[in-house]
Amino acid sequence: MSILQKIGFSVVVFAMVNLLLIIVFSDNGLMELNRLKNTRAIIDSKNAKLVLENRNLSRIIDRLKHDPAYIEAIARKELHMIGKDEVVIKLPNRN
């Protein structure tokens, strides 16, 4: 190999190493890509949880619109309501 070929080869290798360093460590390099992948995974996980929550809420809404027994159960539990002809007896606390 002549001296000119060695210099040319050295310049090409130097340029390739510099390009590799720029790709890996630049602002939009591989490190940023990995960070974005991690961020996307977190967002996808949160999105999946929200999809499940939306499905559950849709079921509850549907039951509240169409299921009188469910409405009664919610009224008794959360609003402490009683039915017609029912009597509530309050007992003293045993504390």
Asked if residue 62 is part of any domain, the answer here is: yes
**Does the residue 45 lie in any domain?**
yes
- Which residue range forms the structural domain that includes residue 35? 3-79
Q: DSSP letter string over the chain?
A: --HHHHHHHHHHHHHHHHHHHHHHHSTTSHHHHHHHHHHHHHHHHHHHHHHHHHHHHHHHHHHHHH-HHHHHHHHHHHH----TT----PPPP--
- How many domains is the chain partitioned into structurally? 1
85 located within any domain: no
User: pLDDT tens track of the chain, all 95 residues?
Assistant: 788 888 888 989 999 998 888 877 777 777 788 889 999 999 999 999 999 999 999 999 999 999 999 999 999 999 988 888 888 888 898 87
pLDDT at 31: 77
pLDDT at 78: 92
